[in-house]
Amino acid sequence: MSSHALPQQVARRAAVLRVVLSCVCGLILAFTLLRMYPSLGTIVGQERAHGPAVTLLLTLTVRSEENEAGSAGSEEDVVRRKEWKTAGERGDASYSRDAFRYQQIDADGNGCMIRDDILARDLTHIQFSKQKRCQVESGNLEDPYTGKTIAFQRGQATSSLVQIDHVVALHDAWNSGAKNWPVSKRTRFGNDPFNLLAVEGKANQDKSDKHAGKWLPSNKAYQCGYVARQIAIKAKYGLSVTAKEKQGMLRTLHYCPGQPLPRW
């Protein structure tokens, strides 16, 4: 073998090795991206998220996300007079929380207000007031948003530890189509037990009026169920989603194939 042939072979082998390494790195990167971003998988042909929740999500109208800055959100009666401002005070003059008449009616006619109905539904080891048959005085909450067990005790300093969250926030609903509803439909939505959950107060504050593209429960075991519930609520009331919201929902549902819908 000539003295020139050996360097040429080494160079060819090095070139082949570089090509192989580049391909391997490319495949690793592509696989990583597909796992992180399911929407990319759709673009290149990988099977996307599927199941009843996804099927229903794909039927929802997608809207623009302009002019949707919202108000912060506590549902607790004890603190809401201190915490809540109308969106008009925050720059959205068309929105008012009162338009949904939350806690202003006895929706099911059982003589109890919706907050106590939800506490009675979602808490365990409940103690009711001796003076007021509907009023929940204490109980334990297995919080779906954080996974924590929270001891609820009614009182000025303690009631806000457990709050009632609108799963689809009222301001999000307003932006999603509720601004055009009659009062009767907004009232029904604002007091619908299907859209209400007893949750940790801090988690409810952190969520505020964010949709699923901007916020998910820290309890990963409930993230898919939370997204499926939001989808079901929006479908029930004919509400829209933003592109970012839809993408976030699909990204979450990618990791729970076949996610069912809650019954309503």
Do 110 and 70 lie in one domain? The reply is: yes
Q: pLDDT digits over 197-206, tens only? A: 999 999 999 9
The reply to whether 177 falls in a domain is yes
For residue 26, is it within any domain?
yes
**pLDDT range class, residue 64, cuts 50, 70, 90:** confident
Half-sphere exposure of 235 (CA within 13 A, CB side): 20
Within a domain: residue 260? no
Residues 133 and 11 in one domain: no
Same domain, 22 and 65: no
Residue 177 CB-density burial (10 A; 0-12 exposed, 13-18 middle, 19+ buried)? middle
* pLDDT for position 250: 97
Query: Is 44 a domain residue?
Result: no
pLDDT at 235 over 70: yes
Q: Does residue 63 lie within any of the structural domains? A: yes
Residues 83 and 59 in one domain: yes
CA distance 129 to 206: 30
Instruction: Please list the helix, strand and coil fractions of the chain in percent, rounded to the nearest 5, in that order.
Output: 50, 10, 40
Domain range for 28: 1-36
- Residues 86 and 211 both lie in one domain: yes
Average pLDDT value for residue range 35-57: 63
Percent of the chain at pLDDT > 90 equals: 66
Q: Count Cα atoms within 13 angstroms, Cβ side, for 174.
A: 23
Res. 69: pLDDT tops 60 = no
Q: Under a CB-based contact definition with an 8 Å cutoff, are residues 156 and 75 in contact?
A: no
Q: Quick one: 146 and 71 in the same domain?
A: yes
- For the stretch 111-166, pLDDT in tens is 999 999 999 999 999 999 999 999 999 999 999 999 999 999 999 999 999 999 99
Domains identified in the chain, total number: 2
- DSSP H or E segment with residue 165: strand 162-166
Question: What's the chain's average pLDDT?
Answer: 83
